[in-house]
Amino acid sequence: MRLCFLGTGSAIPSAGDGFTSFLAEEGGSLVLVDCGDDAYRSLLEAGRDPLALDALVLTHEHADHLGGLPAFVAALDCARRAKPLALAAAPALAGKAQALLGAFGLDPGNLSFEPRFSRGWEAAGLRVELIEGRHSVPTSMVLFSSGRGGRLLYSSDSRYEPGFLASGSGHCATLIHEATYPHDRLPASTGHSSALEAGLAAREIGAERLFLCHFQESAFPAGFDPAAEAASSFGGEAIRPELLRWYEVA
Ligand SMILES: [Zn+2]
Ligand SMILES: [Zn+2]
């Protein structure tokens, strides 16, 4: 499986980085996770054809994850996409996404392609499952299973609870986890996690590598390195991903 991060920012973006979103590719299938930003342009910048995208996974209703959906669907329609697009989302979120598209006149009958909402997605060599997560609003974690035995979990926006990830997904070699705050700046009441908690979660699910995302740079003191903080509690490889770089994972 290959991964490419299109953005690693929180709801407050920073210069040169947008809202958290990434691509996963396996066996000729291409999946986009979340759509808060200009996904069409980002796909091109990642060297992929937006018209060939197989599935879009939506985790939750926050604007930094869902707000770019109408513009993305409109761009695909303007480019005369013909292939159906799978949209994997929990049923309540699917309803909100459909209403959002409707507000822009992007109803299925008006589009050049068929949007197919479902609770998960599967193709030869890759399966995507949604698992209920823990956040300030209902959210889905995303579990990728490759035909070659690789398992990757994206915990989405997530409040850390000891043992929670492991109970939902079991062992995963790769974890993508938010690191919105340094641990000493984590608000008392929050739907988010610190880099240190991301490392704890990675250790609990037996991950070999941890990709961090959803950084709130304005909460980072000068010189703060979220990968170093996460590595201190993880004990494995913690990565602050480079945007638009393709990473090979198990
Ligand atoms: Zn977010
Ligand atoms: Zn959120």
Q: How far is the CA of 52 from the centre of ligand 2 (A)?
A: 28
Q: How far is the CA of 66 from the centre of ligand 2 (A)?
A: 10
Secondary-structure class of domain 2-243 per CATH: alpha beta
Q: How far is the CA of 236 from the centre of ligand 1 (A)?
A: 25
SS (H, E, C) the chain: CEEEEEECECCCCECCECECEEEEEECCEEEEECCCCCHHHHHHHCCCCHHHCCEEECCCCCHHHHCCHHHHHHHHHHCCCCCCEEEECCHHHHHHHHHHHHHCCCCHHHCCCCEEEECEEEECCEEEEEEECCCCCCCEEEEEEECCCCEEEECCCCCCCCCHHHHHHCCCCEEEEECCECHHHCCCCCCCCEHHHHHHHHHHCCCCEEEEECECHHHCCCCCCHHHHHHHHHCCEEECCCCCCEEECC
Q: Which ligand is nearest to the CA of 37?
A: 1
Q: Are the C-beta atoms of 209 and 237 separated by less than 8 Å?
A: yes
pLDDT at 168: 85
pLDDT digits (tens, 9 = 90+) for 132-163: 999 999 999 999 999 888 999 999 999 999 99
Q: How far is the CA of 179 from the centre of ligand 1 (A)?
A: 11
Q: Which ligand is nearest to the CA of 64?
A: 1
pLDDT tens for the chain, 250 residues long, are: 999 999 999 999 999 999 999 999 998 999 999 999 999 999 999 999 999 999 999 999 999 999 999 999 999 999 999 999 999 999 999 999 999 999 999 999 999 999 999 999 999 889 999 999 999 999 999 999 998 889 999 999 999 999 999 898 889 999 999 999 999 999 999 999 999 999 999 999 999 999 999 999 999 999 999 999 999 999 999 999 999 999 999 7
Q: Are the C-beta atoms of 145 and 126 separated by less than 8 Å?
A: yes
Q: How far is the CA of 135 from the centre of ligand 2 (A)?
A: 7
pLDDT at 194: 98
Q: Which ligand is nearest to the CA of 7?
A: 1
- Please report, for residues 17, 47, 49, the alpha-carbon distance to residue 240 in angstroms, rounded to integers and kept in the order given: 13, 21, 26
Of 8, 1, 6, which Cα lies nearest the Cα of 239? 8
